[in-house]
Amino acid sequence: MHDIGVLYGKIGNFLEQCIKQNPNSDVYKCATVEQIHICEEGLFKVVFKQFGCVKEVWAKNVHVNLGGVPKTLNLDEDDRYVHSHYILTEQNEHLEELFTSNDSLKIAIVGNSHSAMSVLSKLNERYSVINSSKYSFDLYGKSNLKLYYSSMEDALLDGYNFTEDDICPVTQRVNRYSGMREESFLVAKAILNETINNVTLKRVYFKDNADYDLIIECLGYKTNLIPVYKNGKQIQFEVNNGILKTDTHFRPVMKNQESIDCFYSYGLGVGIGLTEVSGGEKSFTGNIDGIWLYQHYVAEIITELNKKVLEVI
């Protein structure tokens, strides 16, 4: 993680230099965007705070990429609950004592996708939890654990059970967006093959159970919404299950089902819906998220769209 941080720092500095070379361009670090106003003549006013000062920039295009807020189940502030985000980002010192000073722990993991597998890997790295008689895990999920294969042949060779609906029509990959890859693939496959003996799959909705010592919420992220105003009135956007609805051009959809030109949002907590161009297995109903998608698929569509807008102007 440290090495990745250093690399990202270098990439950030490089991008900053590239951006600043362009006219009318700047980069504001340590700045928190607080409001966006849609103004006359198609301009946006972005209001932000930097080092205690309120500042604003005017823009023709706005991309809101503010990440997500952990999606939780815990409304009663029960301290047995922890979101995967805090385990994966190592902000969970209080778990250290729980794991090191107890002879046995019963743990529920709610959600059985990428974060859940990453959490199991992380806990195993730290406390050797897998196949340990000290720990037992119940893994709750709405669907089966999904594995990713780059072709149907690979999946068949591996004896993996899949259906037509698990195949991406664009790439022919199996579980292209929903399937576990790399380290998570190994953990998920071991659970499916029952070579991990202390993780039990539960295909039911999780209901709070007093028996658990720890409940790990692997439920992904909600949209990190900031207020957007037009004519002094805050715009109400369509939000389903915590996720901002966007159209096929990645523009947030308002309650009246219209979107705003040149105003985009995608990224963690928003994701993007499946289309014929993005591909994706029919059995996957969620929103897709991942750096490659934003750098290629999203970037291409938005660049094309902006070219058209400029042609019209």
Number of residues that bind ligand FAD (CB under 6 A): 17
Q: Give the footprint of ligand FAD on residues 67-86 (CB under 6 A).
A: 67
Q: Which residue, 48 or 127, has its beta carbon nearer to ligand FAD? A: 48
Asked if 120 interacts with ligand FAD (CB under 6 A), we say no
Which residue, among 141, 130, 157, 293, has the nearest Cα to 218 in the 3D structure?
A: 141
Name residue 288's beta-bridge partners.
Answer: 272
DSSP letter string, 20-81: HTSTT-----SEEEEEEEE-GGG-EEEEEEETTEEEEEEES-EEE---EEE----SS--TTE
CB of 269 to ligand FAD, least distance (A): 7
CB of 163 to ligand FAD, least distance (A): 26
Alpha-carbon distance of 56 to 232, in angstroms, equals: 16
Among residues 118, 136, 184, 246, the one that binds ligand FAD under rule CB under 6 A: 118
Asked if 115 interacts with ligand FAD (CB under 6 A), we say yes
Instruction: Fill in the DSSP letter of residue 130.
Output: T
Asked if 253 interacts with ligand FAD (CB under 6 A), we say no
- Binding track over 188-227 against ligand FAD, x by CB under 6 A: ------------------------------------x-x-
CB of 156 to ligand FAD, least distance (A): 26
Residue with the shortest CB distance to ligand FAD: 267
Alpha-carbon distance of 16 to 26, in angstroms, equals: 8
Residue with tokens 């576990």, as numbered in its chain? 180
Asked if 290 interacts with ligand FAD (CB under 6 A), we say yes
- Binding track over 24-63 against ligand FAD, x by CB under 6 A: -------xxx------------------------------
How does strand 105-110 pair with strand 214-217?
parallel
Asked if 292 interacts with ligand FAD (CB under 6 A), we say yes
Amino acid at position 283, single letter? S
Give the three-state DSSP class for 113. coil
Which residue, among 42, 46, 49, has the nearest Cα to 227 in the 3D structure?
A: 46
List residues near ligand FAD by CB under 6 A. Answer: 31-33, 65-67, 88, 115, 118, 224, 226, 267-268, 289-292
